[in-house]
Amino acid sequence: IGNHDSDYPHSHSYFSGTDSGGECDIPYLKRFPMPRPTPYMDCYAYDVGNVHIIVMSTEHDFTKGSSQYHHIQDLLLNVNRTQTPWLIFVGHRPMYCDNVDYHDPSGVQTVGRMLRDNLEPLLMESKVNLALWGHHHSYQRTCPVYKEKCTKGAPIHAVIGMAGHILSKDTNPTKPDWIEYVDVEHFGYTRITTTSSTLVFEYVRDDDEKVHDSVVLQKCSDDYCYL
């Protein structure tokens, strides 16, 4: 669930903006049912081939001790890495993003810090391979990063908000050390190809239909190698 689905004053959303226009999750929940154990659970998980995908709501409380925090923790702890060796985590507002929006309480960097403070250790401990985010209208990819430092075996984060809306160009003049690729000039899409031992993540621009960024993850014993 994202801000345009949920956020509105005096609703059950964590942030009290007006981005949902008063929809307050209702069209999303009623028209687009997801594989939740219960209709109003904030997070859920499903498999696609040998990939296990966990989806959270950044618009509901995810801080330590919240019900969603415990649901996410349980989902991460119960992944069968023999059946699904690849683990992808998904949310709307990004945990990592090259951006200069620091306003409180819901700026991109403010929420990113909240996500890192509360959920990043869970992702690291569970050996999440890839985290996918939206919200910022750009394509961005990090190195394997933990606590804002490139770290072997940490998740790679990608912002994939470049599908068609006006692109967001409010990036830092000097990109952070953990950013490896940023495109705020082109629309496009990403694709993932996996085998039991390899995950390939690619960014394709729609103007020339060519791959402009890619990363390969290779299983190496109990960890993974970043190629």
How far apart CA 141 and CA 183 sit, in angstroms, is 9
Residues 162/91/17/42 CA torsion (nearest 10 deg): 150
For residue 115, pLDDT over 70 is answered with yes
Whether the predicted pLDDT of 7 surpasses 60: no
- What the block records as the tokens of 29 is 């929940």
Residue 95's pLDDT band (cuts 50, 70, 90): very high
Higher per-residue confidence, 195 vs 17: 195
* 48 membership: H or E segment, kind and range: strand 44-48
Weakest-pLDDT range from 23-27, 78-82, 200-204: 23-27
Q: Which are the contacts of 91, defined by CB distance < 8 A and separation ≥ 6?
A: 55, 56, 57, 58, 115, 131, 132, 133
Q: Which residue's entry shows tokens 């692109």?
A: 167
Kindly report the pTM of this predicted structure: 0.92
At 93, phi and psi to the nearest 5? -70, 135
Q: CA-to-CA distance for 161 and 150, rounded, in angstroms?
A: 23
DSSP string across 158-214: EEE--SSSPPP----SS--TTEEEEESS--EEEEEEE-SSEEEEEEEETTT--EEEE
Which position has the token pair 């801000």? 3
Residue 18 has pLDDT above 80, yes or no: no
Cβ-in-10-Å burial (0-12, 13-18, 19+) of 187 comes to middle
The whole-angstrom separation of Cα 81 and Cα 119 is 20
pLDDT band for 214, please (50, 70, 90 cuts): very high
Average pLDDT over residues 110-128: 97
Name which of 154, 46, 25, 149 is nearest 92 in CA terms.
25
Going by C-beta distance under 8 Å and a sequence separation of 6 or more, which residues neighbour residue 173? none
Q: Which of 2-16, 73-87, 98-112, 212-226 has the highest mean pLDDT?
A: 73-87
pLDDT of 218 reads: 93
**Two tokens, residue 96:** 């990592």
Residue 225, pLDDT score:
73
- Asked if residues 145 and 129 have their Cβ atoms less than 8 Å apart, the reply is no
Q: What is the pLDDT of residues 150-170, one digit of tens each?
A: 999 999 999 999 998 899 999
Q: Tell me how many degrees the CA angle 168-169-175 measures, rounded to the nearest 5.
A: 120
Which residue's entry shows tokens 């190809």?
A: 193
Output the pLDDT for position 91.
97
Instruction: Give which of 132, 94, 85 is closest to 112, Cα–Cα.
Output: 94
Strand partners for 156: 130, 144
